[in-house]
Amino acid sequence: MPHWKFKLHEVIYEADTPAGKIFDIALLIVIFISVILVMMESVTSLLNKYAWEFYIAEWVITAIFSVEYVLRIIAINKPKRYIFSFYGIVDLLSTLPSYIGFIFGGANLLFAIRALRLLRVFRVLKVTRYIGESRKLISALRNSKAKILVFLFAVFIICIIAGTLMHLVEGKGGGFDNIPLSIYWCIVTLTTVGFGDIAPVTPLGRLIASIIMITGYGIIAVPTGIVSAEYSKATDKPIRNTQVCPNCNEGKHLDNAKFCHKCGFLLND
């Protein structure tokens, strides 16, 4: 592995050198600009007025993302590790649509595909790595994930039963026209969102709705109890070593690691 490749890897994949940090921040700014551009393009009045500027901006951003994608592949020993990782696929999906659109045309579908670029916004979450506080949060969430899913699953079954009941009580013709719609209303109600586009009108329907709401109010406590308990158990030792193995792209090394714990490759400090 030549020295320039080592250097390039350090700049692109890591964040413990000044150059690496600057690269990270510059990339985040470009991502934010691209996200705001996609948002603005969806506003018809803006799109009609600044069509040309949007066209230019789109190609500039596509060019930057393409160069970044190629550099990321070059800078790593086993490129497949990156290409088939979550961020590798997201990075590809955020450059490809522009080229496809150039070749095939078709404005409407194009926009849908181009919106994929928004997925890049997930990369921003990587910054939370440097915020020690978020470590404990993520750990607590990971521990309570299974329990909260079981709970949400039970909530969903309650919604199926209550939705069917509301459909039978309120009858056809109103907002509870069929069971899927009634279940949708139940979810809206039980989660205390309450849009109000659908609302019961019969006295019995309102009585059942009251019971559903009070139930929702009573059981909202459950996920909170889980997270609270897990959070107070979780450790909040942040990972300070931001080095990433130049060979296999593994990122979670111990603070004093000199070799990659996965492939044995020498980590550069």
- Counting contacts by CB under 8 A, is residue 39 touching a second copy? yes
- Counting contacts by CB under 8 A, is residue 48 touching a second copy? no
- Counting contacts by CB under 8 A, is residue 148 touching a second copy? yes
3-state SS string over 76-120? CCCHHHHHCCHHHHHHHHCCHHHHHHHHHCCHHHHHHHHHHHHHH
Shortest Cβ 195–a second copy spacing (Å): 4
C-alpha dihedral (63, 64, 65, 66), degrees to nearest 10: 50
Cβ proximity to a second copy, 31 vs 75, nearer residue:
31
DSSP state for residue 130 in the 8-state scheme:
G
Among 15, 27, 155, 245, binds a second copy (CB under 8 A): 155
Stretch that binds a second copy, among 9-17, 49-57, 147-155, 252-260 (CB under 8 A): 147-155
- Counting contacts by CB under 8 A, is residue 225 touching a second copy? yes
d(CA 178, CA 158): 17
Q: Going by C-beta distance under 8 Å and a sequence separation of 6 or more, which residues neighbour residue 229?
A: none
Residues from 103 through 122 that contact a second copy (CB under 8 A)? 112, 115, 118-119, 121-122
Among 17, 77, 134, 139, binds a second copy (CB under 8 A): 134
d(CA 141, CA 144): 5
Q: Going by C-beta distance under 8 Å and a sequence separation of 6 or more, which residues neighbour residue 163?
A: 179, 180, 182, 183, 184, 185, 186
- Counting contacts by CB under 8 A, is residue 146 touching a second copy? yes
Residue span 168-197 as binding mask against a second copy, x where in contact by CB under 8 A, dash where not = x---x----xxxxx-xx--xxxxxxxxxxx
Among 74, 217, 240, 257, binds a second copy (CB under 8 A): 217
- Counting contacts by CB under 8 A, is residue 10 touching a second copy? no
Which residue type sits at 54? F
Sign of torsion over alpha carbons 189, 194, 197, 203: positive
- Counting contacts by CB under 8 A, is residue 210 touching a second copy? yes
